[in-house]
């Protein structure tokens, strides 16, 4: 199993550009989530999904959209990039939404917005 994969690994955008961060998992996990990690802030939850067709907002959803058309994929869209969105983005998945499940993380996407 590849686990959780993310593409791209690095990305530089100009303010106002849009892009999609890709996330895929091959473990048949129902629960997937997106976090951003900023220095001294830990990980903050952006959006999450408890299954195909079901998504909800986390702590910091503004400026981001998600969809979950399949169990495997959970892309994160930046609608109009801003310098405040410069961060490292992690996708994670777990068996289901039970809080007793460990989360499996992807390697991250380092995004810089100029």
Partner 1 sequence: SQQGEEDPQALSIQEGENATMNCSYKTSINNLQWYRQNSGRGLVHLILIRSNEREKHSGRLRVTLDTSKKSSSLLITASRAADTASYFCATDAFSGGYNKLIFGAGTRLAVHP
Which residues contribute to the site for partner 1 (CB under 8 A)?
Answer: 4, 33, 35, 40-45, 48, 50, 56-59, 90, 92, 97-100, 102-108
User: What is the β-pairing status of strands 109-113 and 10-13?
Assistant: parallel
- Name which of 14 and 40 has its Cβ closer to partner 1: 40
How many angstroms separate the CA atoms of 87 and 7, rounded?
15
- Name which of 14 and 39 has its Cβ closer to partner 1: 39
User: What is the β-pairing status of strands 31-38 and 42-51?
Assistant: antiparallel
How many angstroms separate the CA atoms of 91 and 108, rounded?
7
At its nearest, how many Å lie between partner 1 and the CB of residue 54?
A: 9
At its nearest, how many Å lie between partner 1 and the CB of residue 85?
A: 19
At its nearest, how many Å lie between partner 1 and the CB of residue 31?
A: 9
- Name which of 11 and 17 has its Cβ closer to partner 1: 11
Evaluate whether 113 touches 82 at the Cβ level (below 8 Å): yes
């Amino acid at each position: 199993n590849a686990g959780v994969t993310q593409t791209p690994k690095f990305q530089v955008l100009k303010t106002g550009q849009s892009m999609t961060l890709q996330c895929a998992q091959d473990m048949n996990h129902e629960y997937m989530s997106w976090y951003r990690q900023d220095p001294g802030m830990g990980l903050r939850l952006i959006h999450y999904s408890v299954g195909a067709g079901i998504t909800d907002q986390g702590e910091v959803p503004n400026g981001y959209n998600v969809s979950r058309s399949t169990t495997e994929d959970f892309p994160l869209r930046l609608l109009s990039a801003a310098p405040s969105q410069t961060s490292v983005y992690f996708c994670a998945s777990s068996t289901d939404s039970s809080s007793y499940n460990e989360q499996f993380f992807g390697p991250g996407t380092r995004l810089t917005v100029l």
